[in-house]
Structure 1
Amino acid sequence: MASQTTENPNANEPELERALSNRHIQLIAIGGAIGTGLFMGSGKTISVAGPSVILVYMVIGFMLYFVMRAMGELLLSRTNYRNFSDFAGDILGPWAAFFTGWTYWFCWIVTGVADVIVIASVYVAYWTPTSWPLWITAIAVIVILILLNLPSVKGFGETEFWFAMVKIVAIIALIIVGIVLIVTGFTHDYEHGTGTASLMNLFNQNGGFFGGGFMGFIMGFQIAVFAFVGIELVGTAAAETKNPEHNLPKAVNAIPVRILLFYVGSLVVLMSVVPWQNFSKDESPFVMLFQLAGLGAAAHLVNLVVLTSAMSSANSGIYSTSRMVYGLATEGDAPRIFAKLSLRKVPKNALYLSGVCLLSSIVLLVFGLDKSTGFSIVTTISSLCFMFVWTIILVSYLVYRKLRPQAHDESKFKMPLGSFMPYVVMAFFVFLLWAFTKDPDTLAGLIATPIWFALLAIGYLSLRRNPAHAKARADHEARIAEEKREAAEYLAGKARV
């Protein structure tokens, strides 16, 4: 039987440093699971779907939990896996590493550009004069992000730790304030309507729990899925995590609790205090609730929180894209210059590439495209590309179970219900694709997304002609044939026993 630990082909080169501790990886996981959409976008999802948005977030979180468990088992199955692009290439073939790595890079570049635009045009602009040029703020944000990531991976972990702490404190404060208002039966006269704080507001307001109707419920999925992008970030940080066998499972297993507390808990409180039909899609529900509680500085405090949340997302994006390009470069799927590490074991050239790509946000700001339909389209494209990455993780897991049954049997972090849940989750992704067809902007994004994969296909077909890549494919096919033979022998032995 082949060893579970394969030799690192780049063993003679400097490697990423395992400097992220348990507290870093736990808070990185929280930061990945809590997006800016909760603070700003939840008003829109509530106004569209009504209280059923609670179920929307629970279903998406439930499904993505199994993606994370599949990723966790695969990452821990071999010690040389640095991220999901590595195990996709090892199990499915070099094409999978190329498509997964570059698509994940593209996902975060698009998300990072969106974050920089929102930070400059909305959050920082809230405090700056109207004459202040937005592109100056955008450049400052990008420079700050590079400076936060350049010194060391521990610096990134520490920054993300405190970014995530701000989000956690804000959500817990919202839940505590909301519970007090519910218990005291607070009566309010808000600009969008009046009401009394009560849990019954979830069921007795304008159509009840499914007040937004069936299509409102469907549209809730379409909007909410973007709030979960980045949930797989702990997989990108696996190669730089101390004691991943202990810390990675802890971070993954805590995801359901985080979703119940941060997403479901805050939404239950919000819609219990304020009847769902009184929410505005253009206003943060957090601002609304704190203002009702008599906190005059609510708008400034929540603006600071969402600014921190957007910085956290962009910080995660520039980190993950640099690591993914570094991994692609070490495997020959990107120019070798991006495989160079600094003295502090940071892939600085890959980091600079991500920073340069984020400068495209300045073009959008200068030409006023930050508030256009195109902005909605590119965020839709990002969501769809993340769904592609999540699907590759599930397909890799299914093939892994067939190719390496002994590794699966010996795993200490098995995916629960692993024989059929990957199919259920992928069927759910098909449902999400259908949901994206129900709005003109998201439909346009759905139609435009194949352009990215066509460009990738052209790039991969060019790469295939490289002799080194041809050898890698041949080696992969030979190894898979050997693993199939060993799997058959192992299963036959199990059957005899």
Structure 2
Amino acid sequence: MEQSQQELSRSLKNRHVQLISIGGAIGTGLFLGSGKSIQQTGPSILLAYMITGGICFLIMRALGELLLSNTENHSFLDFVAEYLGKKWAFLTGWTYWFCWIAIAMADLTAMGLYVGYWFPNLPQWLPEICALVILVALNLIAVSLFGELEFWFALIKVVAIVALIAIGAYMIITHYPTSAGPVKIANLWSHGGWFPKGAKGFLLSFQMVTFAFVGIELVGLVAGETKDPEKVLPEAINNIPIRIILFYLGSLFVIMAIYPWDSLVASESPFVEVFSEVGITAAATIINLVVLSAAASACNSAIYSTGRMMRSLAQEGSAPKPFIKLTKHQVPANAIFFSALVIFSAVVLNFFMPSQVFTIITSIATTCFLFIWGILTYTHMKYRRSMRGKQSHGFKMPFYPLSNLLIFAFLLFVAGVLLWSPETRLAALFTPVWFLVLRFIYFLKYEKGQATR
């Protein structure tokens, strides 16, 4: 096999990286999950997004400093192996793969729900099978074409959010009349104040709010297929968190001004619900198409990342060697097919328990991502300690090490919220079982033979 087929292609451009990273983090969390978050919390959900967005920015800066310390590494898993050792790389790699599997399952579930808007009698699992087949096929195309397709996928989401904010601003200025009354900013606090569900409702919202930001670290994987990473990565890392915070805060602010928080239905997309309520039925159909493409985009990113992470695990010796193999288009097809097979279990779950799958899967994904973000933050600390007295690049984590400690405190807080909520407790308790299984597999694979010598 030629060398060009042995290595991933560095054919992603700056605009691809910017939009892929935005697209990976703007999906079901905003378009579907925000309805439930608003119902749980009320207007104070805006504060929850500000806090979580700020923490995610710090995580991204820590990741960026690691990535730019050695641009030859193709994923952050290489840094975990270097600074924490092979055992932690094994646990982190498989957990990150599992995180994106859960995200893909959640997005498939969302696609089934969105299609139900037009075909309420259609089984939820049927459009999910069709979507999975199409997205796997797209991921087998050359990465440059994947980047181009994902660029337009993500651009549709961004344009939809900007349009929603612009229309909402017009409605607020003109006090546009709706069945719920005239649109006005006072709708944010005139239905029970900023904290209508009290402190408990505000704290419980952090589960879905945190899930809304998972995937923001996808830039850590696309770095391996990026042209000129020294220029592209700092721009992506500095700009993406700010843009995402603006998109989330702007859209949710407009939604709650148009349609009071206590009138939203938790199981429906607030984007679709708002436009339906104001009587623009065609716009509701268009928005439903947009949120369907948003879920497809996030699922597409998930399939991309699971394939790359599986290949990294195989290169480390932690997954079967056939997953290293690339096609003539420099795509890890074996790894993608295996990941897609596991993602297919979402279709099976939606056949038996369609009403419960989304909450269970998002809770598991959030819990696992807390571990991933914690490992990234700790790896960054180990890197900085190793660099004492040495010259490093200028893209450094601000306020180190206080920023790292703040991230750890936030992650522990969200873990406590997951255990506190009856809806997410079971999923949170499942996660330690996942780590115990991985630890046992690592023992059998790497330590058992050494212990018996």
**TM-score, length basis structure 1:** 0.86
CA RMSD, aligned part only? 2.1
2:16 equivalent in structure 1? 24
Write out aligned runs for 1:271-282 (5 A): 271-282=256-267
SS at match of 1:73: helix
Q: How many angstroms apart in 2 are the aligned matches of 1:340 and 1:313? A: 25
Question: Offset of 1:463 from its aligned partner?
Answer: 2.2
Question: Offset of 1:278 from its aligned partner?
Answer: 2.2
Query: Which of the numbers 329, 336, 343 marks the counterpart of 2:328?
Result: 343
SS at match of 2:72: coil
2:444 equivalent in structure 1? 462
CA gap 1:50/1:399 in 2 versus in 1, 3 angstroms: same
1:370 equivalent in structure 2? 354
CA gap 1:378/1:396 in 2 versus in 1, 3 angstroms: same
Deviations 1:93-115 (A, max 9, x none): 11121111100001111221222
The alignment-based identity, stated in percent, is 46
Q: How many angstroms apart in 2 are the aligned matches of 1:461 and 1:411? A: 38
Q: How many angstroms apart in 2 are the aligned matches of 1:363 and 1:287? A: 27
2:183 equivalent in structure 1? 197
2:384 equivalent in structure 1? 401
Q: How many angstroms apart in 2 are the aligned matches of 1:126 and 1:276? A: 21
CA gap 1:448/1:187 in 2 versus in 1, 3 angstroms: same
For the Cα contact (< 8 Å) 2:136–2:337, is it kept in 1? yes
1:72 equivalent in structure 2? 64
Question: Offset of 1:370 from its aligned partner?
Answer: 2.2
1:142 equivalent in structure 2? 132
Query: Which of the numbers 117, 124, 127 marks the counterpart of 2:115?
Result: 124
Write out aligned runs for 1:6-405 (5 A): 14-120=6-112, 122-128=113-119, 130=121, 132=122, 134-189=124-179, 194-206=180-192, 208-366=193-351, 368-372=352-356, 375-405=358-388
CA gap 1:26/1:134 in 2 versus in 1, 3 angstroms: same
Query: Which of the numbers 422, 442, 462 marks the counterpart of 2:404?
Result: 422
Runs of at least 5 residues in structure 1 that lack an aligned partner in the other structure? 1-10, 471-497
CA gap 1:282/1:358 in 2 versus in 1, 3 angstroms: closer
For the Cα contact (< 8 Å) 1:174–1:289, is it kept in 2? no
For the Cα contact (< 8 Å) 1:222–1:435, is it kept in 2? yes
CA gap 1:355/1:464 in 2 versus in 1, 3 angstroms: same
For the Cα contact (< 8 Å) 2:326–2:333, is it kept in 1? yes
**TM-score, length basis structure 2:** 0.94
Q: How many angstroms apart in 1 are the aligned matches of 2:301 and 2:170? A: 34
Residue 446 of structure 2 aligns with an amino acid whose one-letter code is R
Question: Offset of 1:136 from its aligned partner?
Answer: 4.2
CA gap 1:89/1:195 in 2 versus in 1, 3 angstroms: same
Question: Offset of 1:149 from its aligned partner?
Answer: 0.9
Q: Which ranges of 4 or more aligned residues in structure 1 deviate by more than 6 Å?
A: none
SS at match of 1:462: helix
CA gap 1:458/1:34 in 2 versus in 1, 3 angstroms: same
Deviations 1:160-215 (A, max 9, x none): 111111111111111011100110122322xxxx3332223333331x22222111
Deviations 1:292-321 (A, max 9, x none): 444221332122111111111110111000
